[in-house]
Amino acid sequence: MATEIELKLQLTTQTARQVPAHPLLAGIKPQTQRLLNTYYDTPALDLNARRIGLRFRKKGAQWLLTVKSAATVSGGLALRHEWETPAKPGQFDFSHIDEPDFKVALEQALPRLQAMFTTDFRRTTWNVPFGESLIEMALDQGSIKCTGHAIRICEIELELISGVIGDIFALSHHLQETLDLRPAVMSKAERGYALFSETPQKPFRAKAAALRAEMSPVNAFRAIALSCLEQFQRNEYGLLTANKDPEYVHQGRVALRRLRSALKLFAPVLPPDFVATYGQAWQGLASGLGDARNWDVFLSETLPPILAAFPDHRDARRLQAEAVRHAQQARTAAAHLVAQPDYPRLVVDFTAALYGLQDRQALKLRKFASKRLCNRARQARVLAERAAELQPEERHELRISFKKLRYAVEFFTPLLAPNRLRSYLASLTQIQDELGLINDQVTAGTLVGQALANRPAGPVHGWVAGRHELLAHELPEALATWLAQKAPW
């Protein structure tokens, strides 16, 4: 079994034509060959469900049988186990697989295996000495094909042959200075399965990081941060295309909020300059998406009841037209922001910094989690007990404190008592939802002014203000429910 460490970067065909002339490759003789791969699975996709990839590859005159573990990819970096052996096409032999669970799954699937899709591409490789390492740089151009459909392959893979993982990121950063390269999270196999299943692109929601009690706090942070980064990257499609589905912007912002919350939560065990640098960098991107999200919420949630309340009022009709225009402008601005070269460079640099974090503290994760959760809960409790007397600015602080607490609880869920976790998290979610609705009304007042160019809109402003007060009166009951609960840590 070998461990494959590679960084995948997407590029356009125009950029691909520039790659061979890059100064870094001068004097390095490239090798070019055609690779034809056929991927196999059962009709029920049992191997894919087990995160196992199985393929036959034709490499020149040689045929290879390859088994791969599906990697969790963030920042474009994939770490996966790989077994490869010469074989005759169609003759499956798993005797060389030394991972018992994989071997059993493959042998159980054997009678039902069938071809699912193919990848056919030309690979040009350069063995690049960089830093302390030797890195294979592969430029792949071709297609993925399935049942008459095809999608394009145009990507660079940087695979560590020998040396240190940090040099892969350093090489990527160097290439990104002159080439438009974007870290990719979808492997060829994942794209092939999506083509086979005719699965359309859709917004990607947060997934819990796989924390274990024996992890150190730094390693736990790394897992959480990579999970947040993956969520944002998997929503890039909708952001870059200014897709009308507001969930892309929403999930992109959720990913960044979770990431920034994790930076603050784990700050006591992280280098201060790391927290400051990347806290500011991700804040800038999050702010750029904020306007789009505000208009999306206004259009989908705030405006419909206003239109229902004032169906014939000219201000309401004008407000709708202007809101649609502002929302489209905001989505376009968000797409432009993510399309800028600064963003993919930030992804690579941040991923490199995550893998470069040193873990020198002998601190147990459970103890760290309990201490930080107590701190977050105490901050929320102080404000919750004064909820009736809070000023608007303090109510905003209350919303932020509960958001931080909820994210912290979600991050540490694998370590918490399950019998109390469900009700506690449900209570936090209800409070956050109610505070979010209140905040939406505050934002709505500002957006109405922008949309109507600050022209008088008395009935609309009055409706927004009344809705704000109604929601504020419902909050104390939710807070009281949470205050009475026992924490699950």
Residue-wise DSSP of 304-360: HHHHHHSTT-HHHHHHHHHHHHHHHHHHHHHHHHHHSTHHHHHHHHHHHHHHH----
Q: Which domain, by its residues, includes 179? A: 2-200
Instruction: Report the pLDDT value the prediction gives residue 458, as an integer from 0 to 100.
Output: 63
Amino acid at 74: S
Instruction: Report the pLDDT value the prediction gives residue 453, as an integer from 0 to 100.
Output: 75
Residue with tokens 């018992």: 100
Nearest to 196 by CA among 184, 208, 207, 188: 188
CATH, residue 278: 1.40.20.10
155 and 17 within one domain: yes
CATH, residue 192: 2.40.320.10
Q: Let me know if residue 207 belongs to a domain.
A: no
Q: Let me know if residue 291 belongs to a domain.
A: yes
The single-letter DSSP state of residue 93 is -
Nearest to 230 by CA among 351, 121, 109: 351
135-144, 251-260, 391-400: range with lowest mean pLDDT: 391-400
365 and 325 within one domain: yes
277 and 192 within one domain: no
285 and 137 within one domain: no
pLDDT(300) > 70: yes
Average confidence (pLDDT) over 214-226: 97
Nearest to 357 by CA among 440, 263, 286, 240: 263
- Residue 455: band (very low, low, confident or very high) from pLDDT cuts 50, 70, 90: low
Q: Let me know if residue 144 belongs to a domain.
A: yes
Of 166, 200, 234, which residue constitutes the final position of a domain? 200
418 and 350 within one domain: yes
pLDDT(233) > 90: yes
Q: Let me know if residue 297 belongs to a domain.
A: yes
- The total domain count for the chain is 2
57 and 167 within one domain: yes
Q: Let me know if residue 208 belongs to a domain.
A: no
Q: Let me know if residue 489 belongs to a domain.
A: no
Task: Give residue-wise pLDDT tens across range 334-365.
Answer: 999 999 999 999 999 999 999 999 987 789 99
pLDDT(150) > 60: yes
Task: Give residue-wise pLDDT tens across range 73-89.
Answer: 678 788 888 999 999 99
**C-alpha to C-alpha distance for 234 and 247, rounded to whole angstroms:** 12
321 and 182 within one domain: no
Q: Let me know if residue 206 belongs to a domain.
A: no
357 and 231 within one domain: yes
Average pLDDT across the chain, whole number = 93
Which residues does residue 363 pair with via DSSP β-bridges, in sequence order? none
Q: Let me know if residue 213 belongs to a domain.
A: no
pLDDT(99) > 80: yes
18 and 84 within one domain: yes
252 and 158 within one domain: no
Of 138, 167, 200, which residue constitutes the final position of a domain? 200
Amino acid at 273: D
126-135, 241-250, 453-462: range with lowest mean pLDDT: 453-462
105 and 186 within one domain: yes
The single-letter DSSP state of residue 157 is E
**C-alpha to C-alpha distance for 326 and 449, rounded to whole angstroms:** 12
Instruction: Report the pLDDT value the prediction gives residue 325, as an integer from 0 to 100.
Output: 94
Q: CB neighbours (10 Å) of residue 313? A: 15
238 and 195 within one domain: no
**C-alpha to C-alpha distance for 283 and 14, rounded to whole angstroms:** 32
Average confidence (pLDDT) over 185-196: 96
Higher pLDDT, 382 or 457: 382
